[in-house]
Amino acid sequence: MNKPVDRPPLIRLAVPADAEALSALILRTIRESNTADYPPDEIERVCASFTPEEVAKQIAARDVFVSFAPGSSQASPETRPVGTVSLGVKPRLSGGETAKLHVLFVAPEWQGRGLGLRLVAHLEAHALRQGHRLLQVSSSLTARQFYQRLGYRELAFEPRAEGSTYLMEKALV
Ligand SMILES: CC(C)(COP(=O)(O)OP(=O)(O)OC[C@H]1O[C@@H](n2cnc3c(N)ncnc32)[C@H](O)[C@@H]1OP(=O)(O)O)[C@@H](O)C(=O)NCCC(=O)NCCS
C-alpha cells in the first residue's frame, strides 16, 4: 500500500513539449497496472495509441491535464509527470455535445494515495465550467469499481480488440 500524499501533485494543462514524458508515464502504467485484466496482445494494441506522436495529437485535440510530483525547491516546482486525465468533446448526431473523460492514468508508485480522485474531480470541475452537465467515460476493466465509487453508472459493455471497456456516465452538479 502506498503512503498518503503530504504535498499533493500540481495539476496543469499539458503542452506539446509534455508528449514524450506523458507517453512514457502512460505506457509504463498500462504495462504494470492493466496486465491483470487484459491479455498481452490487447495490452500492446492499447499501447499503440499512446506513442509520443499519438499523445501529441491528443494534446492538440483535447484538454489534457498533467500532474507533476512537487519538486524539492521553489526553483524547480515540477519534476516528472505522475498522473494525467483529458476532456474530449464530440458533437452528437441528435444535436448538442458529448463530453468524455479520457486517458486517466496514475503512475503505479502514486496509486492508492488519492491522486486518481483529485484528477477526476479536477476534470469534472473543468467540464462543468465549460457548460457540460453530463460526463461519460469508457472505463478500463481495471478502473470499473473506481468509477462506480465516484458515482459513475454503467451504460454498456464495449467489447474491443484494443481493450474492452465499460461505458459509464455521471451527472455533474
Ligand atoms: C484507476 C486509477 C486511475 C486510480 O487512481 P488512484 O490514484 O490509485 O486512485 P485513488 O487513490 O484516488 O483512489 C480513490 C478511491 O478509489 C479506490 N480505488 C482505486 N482504484 C481502484 C480499483 N481499481 N478498484 C476499486 N477501487 C479502487 C481507492 O481504494 C480509493 O478508495 P478510498 O477513498 O475508500 O480509499 C489508477 O489505479 C490507474 O492509473 N490504473 C491503471 C490505468 C487505468 O486503468 N486507468 C483508467 C482508464 S479509463
State pTM to two decimals. 0.92
> CATH number of 10-171: 3.10.20.30, 3.20.20.70, 3.10.129.10, 3.40.630.30?
3.40.630.30
Q: Whose CA is nearest to atom 16 of ligand 1?
A: 146
Report pLDDT digits (tens) over 46-66.
999 999 999 999 999 999 999
Q: Is 34 in the pocket of ligand 1 (CB under 6 A)?
A: yes
Q: pLDDT for 135-172, tens place per residue?
A: 999 999 999 999 999 999 999 999 998 899 999 999 99
Here the cell at position 48 is 499503440
For residues 46 and 162, is the Cβ–Cβ distance under 8 A?
A: yes
Where do the domains of the chain lie?
Answer: 10-171
* Residue 84 CB less than 6 A away from ligand 1: no
Q: What is the rounded CA–CA span in Å between residue 34 and residue 50?
A: 14
> In the sheet where 97-106 sits, what is the strand order?
10-13, 63-73, 76-91, 97-106, 134-140, 165-171, 153-158
Q: What is the pLDDT of residue 143?
A: 98
**Rounded distance from Cα 82 to ligand 1 centre (Å):** 14
CA-nearest residue, atom 19 of ligand 1: 146
Say if ligand 1 is within 6 A of residue 145 CB. yes
- pLDDT given at position 51: 98
